[in-house]
Structure 1
Amino acid sequence: MTATGPRRWPAWAFLVAGGALVGTAALLAAPVYTAVVAVVAFLVAVVMLVVRRPARLAAWSTLTLTSASIAVSRVWAAVAGRPVVADRGLATGDIRAIVLYPTLAVGLVLLGGTGKVAHLADSLDAAVVTLGVFVLLWLFLLHGHMAPSGSRLVLASLRPIGVAVVVGMLLRLLFMVGPRAPTIRFVTAGVTTAMLGALALVGHSVGYPVDGRVNGTGVFFTGYALLLATALLHPSAGEPLPVRDRGAPSGRLSRGRAAMFVGLTLLGPLAWLLAATIGRFNPGSPTDFGLVVLAGGLISLLLLWRLSLVARVADRRAGQLGEAVGELQVLQTEFAYRAAHDPLTGLANRSVLDERLSSLPHDRPYALLLIDLDGFKEINDSLGHPTGDELLVAIGRRLTSLAPAGSTLVRLGGDEFAVLLPEAGQQEAMALGSAVCEELRLPYPSAVGSLTISASVGVTARARAARGPGEVLREADLALYAAKAAGKDRVAAYRTGLAPRGRRVRPA
């Protein structure tokens, strides 16, 4: 059964019931309700890990540890009545922060996947976002300095740094995994809720007026634990996570990411300007700019690295495109050759002869020889088609050796060949026809013994004038018939008045 079936209702029922208790805790300022929800959410998550064993179990187990830290923190706050964040010393919220932020970041990294070259670009993008979020928190929320001092300084700085890192890792996850998966939506909502709680704690620590019920009841972090348990309870948790098609490693640069890069490149100077004009940033010394300048420099370096990956992939794809174009040109050349040549003998075919005849100047002389083998059908029928093909190939070679430079030798089909002689008269054509008859009547060695065959040649020679290719071939065909009728194995020239006499002549 899929995640859209009836089995999904327990997850939604659990989320609604838990959400009602969390809302009650916020309204009544009663931390006991969030403690109950946090503990139950942790137990449900553990049971689902054991029973369902979802894909990327290590990632879900790591995220469940964050739920455990929240449950312990909420129970301690409800039972002992200790504040989540104290002005001095180590409070339960501080212990939770020490465990939660690193564990949450690692869990998100494992959930997105590791170890693939294609993840490098996503990781770089996430790192850039992390630095950008930190710059915004430093300038606007912390207004350029840490309000706490002494032992509270490290703990106060942990949260903004943790928020920036977790937000970056969440975006990395969304870059790698399809965000429409129900489990990923629950995780995204949960992490976002937890980060809102972290910002509330940071705001309280630096003097912003934050409602005490928000931090005292821990509704945001409990909401995270509730949403994480819902994600594991949902049937889609048992299915493999949908991974986005990355194409070439580090090769995708969508419009959204390109716009993000432009914004982050301008983030440093714009953030300073806005923080100083409409915010509370009031630097007292050059050292107040140190972290922001460092973060801005790192953003620029990471963006350069990221763009170098895009350029490298673009170069590789350009090379692949060049190779593909070269292969396509080779194929086009091969197809063009095959379309214009006889596959058996390798000679040009009828289409080439028609093209050459059509391109002849009307006022220049030419000669066309039409060659027909005498008795080839008997050899082909009695000795078989392989022997006939072997004989045709051998005849093609002999004709090639006889054809003068600049001439066009073609196989018209079957046992017929033609030779087009530009700038040639009848005397030259008749001489070539006699040489063809003499050469072709010589014996041919073959697998079945020595073969002999003769040829008849018809010649037409004059300026093309207004005649088309069909008329030229008709004249040569009439001359060829005359050679056949005169006893074969000879050459005959076309003359006016030749008639077909029973032979089917090529149409004009």
Structure 2
Amino acid sequence: MASRSSTGGLGRDPVLLGLAVLALAVPLWFLAGPGGSALSWGIQTGLDLGIMVFSARLARLTAGERPARRFWLGLAAGGLLCALGDGLQTALVVAGGPGTPTSLVQSLCVVLAMSVMMVLMLRHPLGDTGRLRLRLWLDAATVLAGVAVLLWYFSIGAQLGNPRLADQLASAASSVAMLVIVLGVLKLILSGTAPFTRLAGVAGCAGVAGSALGAAASIIVTGGPNPRVEAVASLLSCILTVASVRIQEVQTRNPREDARVRRRRFSLMPYAAVGVTQVLLVFALAGRGADPRLWGVAAGVLMITGLVLTRQLVAFHDNDRLLTDLDRSMLELRQLHGELRHRATHDALTGLANRALLAERLAALPPAANLSILVLDLDGFKQVNDRHGHHTGDELLVAAARRLSARVRADDLAVRLGGDEFAVVLPDTDAEVARRLAQALTEALSEPYALGGTEARVGASVGVATGTPAGLDALLRDADAEMYRIKTARKTEALAAPDARVPA
């Protein structure tokens, strides 16, 4: 099992550091060193296995999220298919030499892997609806159009002059598959329901798009086909794809490393796609030797496009800031509302519920529900208050409220009725259970209290009544009457005892 990257997160993850070293070594080895197709296929196979392993781990980490688990299981299956195809091709190249043609089995494995990924991307659920979903698809289509222009110029268009129809069809099919996968990744990134973070998604999207543009790197660097440059471009793209999956694993295992931040209300990706196509236009015109008139038109188009995009982005940023301020104000308003409601329904001194919350809770119960109510009073509280002062009396009430709250159930409601009088509402509780709780509360509240350097002792008289919420007033009267009978009986016993002190 890989480490949880607790040693420092993404910047010090050993797998990501290893991939970074490999990304630096690949250009040196294949451009300035001996290179070799067998090594290239072998590295590719290892990277495919990395995708499979990290995706399988993510499937286990997201076992409770069905769509996410399905996504990572599918990606693990795609990595396995690619590893099988590239592993077979590695063996064929080792046996037959550098000129060995690409195996049909390898091509089929890659096509199957791409098909799996396309289905996964397009089936993953979207979170937005209505016009938000329309905006999402428009943004994704804009970015996809930019990628398609790049593919046309560097891949499909470059193959139009190739006399071999098979090469043209292979280039077109590969480009279309890559476009669909990129569309799926973009859909998930822009929707906010992706099973990966934005950082991992952007890295994966760049890796997939780079795989489709491998031939373009050769044209840009050397002006024509170059197997070494194509191998470097392909391997670097695959390294980036593996890194994206590993980034997701690290961020999933370590929530503090999670790059998912507040979702921006607009995406910069469509505007980046527009900018890239404008740069490509300049590149194409320079390669074709355009005349000054055409350059003037192109400059005007670039300038107008830049101004429009800048104006649009400024408006988006202003709207985003206003909406952020509105969200903050709404949050503060909700917090204030919650604080005011708590003050209105809870006792300020003890934090227990008050009569308003008591009535509200009982009104929410079915009229025929069975419940019991305890009404209790602290015996001897007045003497403590008179002897030690109101501050000590308040401390005693707070301490008694804590003991009361600690001994009732989660569904019960402890209430301060006023002064030193409390109540406990016990839903779905019969009289026998209620009397056992009354006895336990009597014992707990009668234990000594340490209050500001002095020790105070009080007793507790608890009355019990059982009925339904519809008879709340009658229940409180009955419990209160029983509580006073118990208190009176204790006073009588205390008067009969020699040298007795009568509790209030």
Rg larger for: 1
Same fold (TM over 0.5): no
Normalised by the shorter chain, which TM-score bucket? 0.3 to 0.5
Given the two structures, how large is their TM-score scaled by the length of structure 1? 0.42
Larger relative contact order, structure 1 or 2 (CA cutoff 8 Å, min sep 6):
1
Given the two structures, how large is their TM-score scaled by the length of structure 2? 0.42
